[in-house]
Structure 1
Amino acid sequence: MLVDDKKNKNNTHLNKAKKNKKDEFYTQLVDIESELKYYEKHFKNKVVYCNCDDPRVSNFYKYFKDNFEKLGLKKLIVASYKSSQSLEKGFYFEYFGRVSGDFDYKNANFFDGDGDFRSQESIRLLEESDIIVTNPPFSLFRQYVEQLDKYNKKYLIIGNVNAITYKEIFKLIQNDKAWLGINLGRGVSGFIVPEHYELYGTETRIDENGNRIVSPNNCLWLTNLDIEKRHEDILLTKKYYGHESDFPSYDNYQGINVNKTKDIPMDYKGAMGVPITFLHKYNPEQFEIIKFRKGNDEKDLSVNGKCPYFRILIRNKRLL
Structure 2
Amino acid sequence: MSTAPSLGVLYTGGTIGMQPRAGTLAPSAALADSLHATLRALHGETLQWQIATLAPPIDSADATPATWHAMADAILALADAGCDGVLVLHGTDTLAHSAAAMAFLLQGLPIPVVFTGSMLPANDPDSDAWPNLRGAIAALREPGAAGVRLHFAGRTLSAVRCSKRRSDGFDAFAERAPGPPTDRVAAPWPLRQRWQPQRVALLTLHPGFAPELLDALPQAGIAGCVLACYGSGTAPTGDAAFMAALARAQRAGVLLLAVSQCPKGRVRMDSYEASRRLRDAGVIDGGGMTAEAALGKLHALLAAGLDDVACEHWLRQDLCGEM
For the criterion TM > 0.5, the same-fold answer is: no
TM-score scaled by length of structure 1: 0.26
TM-score scaled by length of structure 2: 0.26
Larger Cα-atom Rg: 1
